[in-house]
Amino acid sequence: MTVLPDRVAAKIGSLGTDGCWPWLGYINGDGYGRVAWHRRSTQAHRVVYELLVGPIPEGLQIDHLCRVRHCVNPGHMEPVSQAENLRRGAGPWPAAAINRDKTHCPHGHAYDEVNTIRRSDGSRRCRICNRNQCAAYAAKRRSI
């Protein structure tokens, strides 16, 4: 079974050094990739996320950890509520404060300068774990 339909897979560029999957198809004026999906023009990153990860719960928006809007790597996306997305944009928000004292990610990797991805809200994500997740999605992307 093909995880990604050919017409979608063909529009995803090769991995950049930052691990982004650039959308090679149409890019909207807002910077997000678009693709015709179920006869509707849909945000490309949402389509790829749903194909490789699963349905995005109703009402949730996708926050790009990499800040690259036309990137369709599911490992660079997090579904968040609109309120949370706005709050992240406005920062600082409670979760950043709650987790500020943690020195290691849930898998035991240190949150040091090199291994920390800072979200726009100031909260952190482990780079090793993120890379592992990206590798899993990349394998899924290639699998037939």
Cα distances (angstroms) measured from residue 20 to each of 51, 95, 102, 110 = 17, 26, 27, 23
Cα 5–chain centre separation: 19
Q: Is 126 in the site for Zn ion (CB under 5 A)?
A: yes
Q: Is 62 in the site for Zn ion (CB under 5 A)?
A: no
CA neighbor of 87 nearest in space, from 52, 58, 123: 123
Cα distances (angstroms) measured from residue 97 to each of 44, 58, 59, 102, 118 = 33, 27, 25, 10, 13
Number of residues engaging Zn ion in binding (CB under 5 A): 12
Task: Pick one of 105, 121, 137, 141: the residue that binds Zn ion (CB under 5 A).
Answer: 105
Task: Pick one of 26, 129, 131, 133: the residue that binds Zn ion (CB under 5 A).
Answer: 129
Q: Is 24 in the site for Zn ion (CB under 5 A)?
A: no
Task: Pick one of 3, 15, 50, 109: the residue that binds Zn ion (CB under 5 A).
Answer: 109
Interface ranges with Zn ion (CB under 5 A): 20, 66, 68, 71, 73, 76, 105, 107, 109, 126, 128-129
